Structure 1
């Protein structure tokens, strides 16, 4: 199962390779005039810096999920990278979407690599993103489960069929109505909802629910449900 990234998300994620380029330029200036035996050190340090920056972006993305946006963090990272805070924020949001959707679906390593391949990143960056996903997907799924809204659940149902046979204007008529009283549970509290509809609408609703139940038996739906649990 591959992720479908919108053009906006691709544009936001396009900031990540710029982190690598900025780091290499900075270390390139520092290494001017070094001896031949030491020329490999700046490249190694540049790679380590790049890894640290991407890992930090991953940490910020997880914090974004847990606590929401924090402009001060974006501003601090923007000063270090010499870019605008909006650019950093968009990069974090793009990375957050990538990690969140991948964790929701629990996609395999191969599917994750195929999903980010279309972004045209370097092999090093793709490996870093894969490692970020593998290291954080369990925590991200835990955060998402905590953020999920608590919805009412079914407890019991009562129904009544009312039929109007005549009125002052019409001596003979049949006007049926179905009244339904739903008993629901939510966080240990009990509440009721009263609904009323005509038999034709109720029949259509039943047919749609039966169709949905049949759809849940397909292999595709079973795979999706298994992945989101």
Structure 2
């Protein structure tokens, strides 16, 4: 839809998108813009939401000017419109990042790990079996608060988990994944 309308209209959509990021969505604004353009309000809403997505994702990843232009180029906008969107992005990216950081949840992150291997060597019921367990105490930080999670598993499950994590890390190094990450950044 945005490729078929004039640059001033897209500029207005972009201004609305930035305003919505700052203050929140207002359905009446969609209706007013839809009446002016003689299109359904949903079409205007999708256009504004698309621009909000471009701006938020670009700001979140702090992509460079060249990467932003490459990202917008595939959308089929005119050169003039691409330049306007670039200026809008450059003017608002710090403020958008600040808004996004305020909205982001404070997730706990790794601080320390303690582990212990417990082995039950024998019991009257199980004379010949050894029953090892690995106990992990994961210390987490979330802002100023600290918490701990205790996890317990057998060595076979722990080895399987390690293999899966190593495989996932190996996948990140694959050419397919690097190409995707390059396009994201």
TM-score, normalised via structure 1 length = 0.64
Partners in 2 of 1:156 and 1:125 — Cα distance?
Answer: 50
- Could you say what the CA RMSD is over the residues aligned between the two structures, in angstroms? 3.0
The partner residue of 2:41 within 76, 85, 97 is 85
- Aligned in 2, Cα 1:212/1:67: closer, same or farther, shift over 3 Å? farther
Question: Shift of the alpha carbon at 1:196?
Answer: 0.4
Q: 1:70-119 deviations in whole A, cap 9, x for unaligned? A: 21221121122221110011001111111222222333323322322222
Q: Conserved in 1, the CA contact under 8 Å of 2:139 and 2:146? A: yes
* Structure 1 unmatched ranges of 5 or more: 1-14, 21-49
* Structure 2 unmatched ranges of 5 or more: none
Q: Which has the larger radius of gyration?
A: 1
- Aligned in 2, Cα 1:158/1:117: closer, same or farther, shift over 3 Å? closer
Question: Shift of the alpha carbon at 1:187?
Answer: 3.0
- Aligned in 2, Cα 1:95/1:161: closer, same or farther, shift over 3 Å? same
The partner residue of 1:183 within 139, 143, 146 is 139
Partner residue in 1 for 2:2:
16
Partner residue in 2 for 1:7:
none
Partners in 1 of 2:98 and 2:113 — Cα distance?
Answer: 33
Written as runs of structure 1 = structure 2, the 5 A alignment for 1:134-213 is: 134-206=90-162, 208=165, 212=169
Partners in 1 of 2:73 and 2:12 — Cα distance?
Answer: 22
TM-score, normalised via structure 2 length = 0.77
- Aligned in 2, Cα 1:155/1:133: closer, same or farther, shift over 3 Å? closer
Question: Shift of the alpha carbon at 1:209?
Answer: 6.4
Partners in 1 of 2:167 and 2:78 — Cα distance?
Answer: 48
Partners in 2 of 1:153 and 1:113 — Cα distance?
Answer: 34
Partner residue in 2 for 1:72:
28
Partner residue in 1 for 2:81:
125
Question: Shift of the alpha carbon at 1:183?
Answer: 2.8
SS in 1 for 2:5: helix
Q: Conserved in 2, the CA contact under 8 Å of 1:177 and 1:198? A: yes
Pairs aligned (count): 176
